[in-house]
Amino acid sequence: MIELKTKEDIEGIRKSGALLSSLFKMLDKNIKEGMSTYDVDKICYEFIKDNHAIASCLGYCGYPNATCISVNDTVIHGIPSRKNILKDGDLVSVDITLDLDGYVSDSTHTYEIGNVSKEVHLLNEVTRKALYNAIDAASVKGARLYDIARAVESTVRPYHYGIVEDYCGHGVGFSIHEDPLVFNYVNTRYSNKKLREGLVIAIEPMINMGDKRIKVLDDGWTVKTVDASVACHWEHTVAITEDGLEIMT
């Protein structure tokens, strides 16, 4: 069931999203070669606590950390580790969900560490573009869920990348994962709902440089590409308000 948000709820999610956006500004300046993914998680967790928010992922279905940090062929849900040291040429996505005063926002940025290859840089640019094209498509009055999917597909198709189908975006705002599912490809098994005022969703294309297939490691979380190709992920929480779409994060 989709829980539409009131204006008051959206104001709460706006504050939560603004805090998450400022966390990424801090991370933009601080994420560096030589840090472990545990170090990155730690500075994010400290920021969340210092700002009186809650790291929603910590303990979610038993997840052990505040953030998901996914390097190179890890697509999503990379578990922070002291052994995983960021090195020149790595592509690293940091996915953070936080709860401020009961309102949840969810966003992912992907960072290039030092100098990445041309191919990896292009993957990052195209994936981010897919997110913004999907947001533009969702901004059109009367837009529907499939418009988001079509925007991701048409952005990515010229590059022959793999669009991950096993995970998707979602409703958000009161908790991490709410209805509806927001696919990055047209999935006709799910209805093409109209985006109505009060809808708050996380849009999050997950794109592999190679094949779309993924596998989950034995830790039960880490999602990697089957062909070991590099993957990328960008995510924003957006709200449909009476004035149109607004990016919350």
Residues that bind ligand MF3 (CB under 6 A): 57, 60-61, 63, 68, 77, 95, 97, 106, 176, 202, 204, 235
CA distances to 98, 235, 237 from 52, rounded to whole Å, are 10, 23, 20
Q: Which residue is nearest to Co ion (CB)?
A: 202
Does 77 show up as a binding residue in the annotation?
A: yes
End-to-end CA distance of the chain: 24
Q: Is 160 annotated as a binding residue?
A: no
Q: Which does 9 bind (CB under 5 to 8 A by kind): ligand MF3, Co ion, none?
A: none
Q: Which residues are at the interface with Co ion (CB under 5 A)?
A: 95, 106, 202, 204, 235
63 binds, among ligand MF3, Co ion, none (CB under 5 to 8 A by kind): ligand MF3
Buried/exposed code over 177-190 (b: 16+ C-beta within 10 A; e: otherwise):
bbebbbbbbeeeee
CB of 242 to ligand MF3, least distance (A): 26
Binding site partner of 131, from ligand MF3, Co ion, none, Cβ cut-off 5-8 A by kind? none
CB of 77 to ligand MF3, least distance (A): 5
User: Which residue, 109 or 158, is less far from Co ion as judged by CB?
Assistant: 109
CA contacts within 13 A on the Cβ side of 114: 9
Q: Is the peptide bond before 64 cis (omega within 30 degrees of 0)?
A: no
Q: Which residue ranges make up the annotated binding site for substrate?
A: 77, 177
Give the annotated binding-site residues for a divalent metal cation: 95, 106, 170, 204, 235
